[in-house]
Amino acid sequence: MAVKKKELGEFKARKVGTSLVIKIPSELAVTAGEKFKLIVGGNGQTLTYERAESDNP
């Protein structure tokens, strides 16, 4: 079964301190402190974030 993808817009990376930040739309219900895994595609052009497993039982 194919995974459906939904494009939410185009976002610009901005510098905050020594890091680059990309906004997450509030409709995705992400909370501050939530952890994600960053996966880089084989061509280096695709970045995918996946929610990390919670440490909280």
> Taking residues 28-33, what's their average pLDDT?
90
The whole-model pTM stands at 0.66
48 conformational bin, left if phi > 0, alpha if psi -120 to 50, beta if neither = beta
Q: Which of 39, 38, 36 is nearest to 53 (CA)?
A: 36
pLDDT at 57: 60
Q: pLDDT for 7-26, tens place per residue?
A: 888 999 999 999 999 999 88
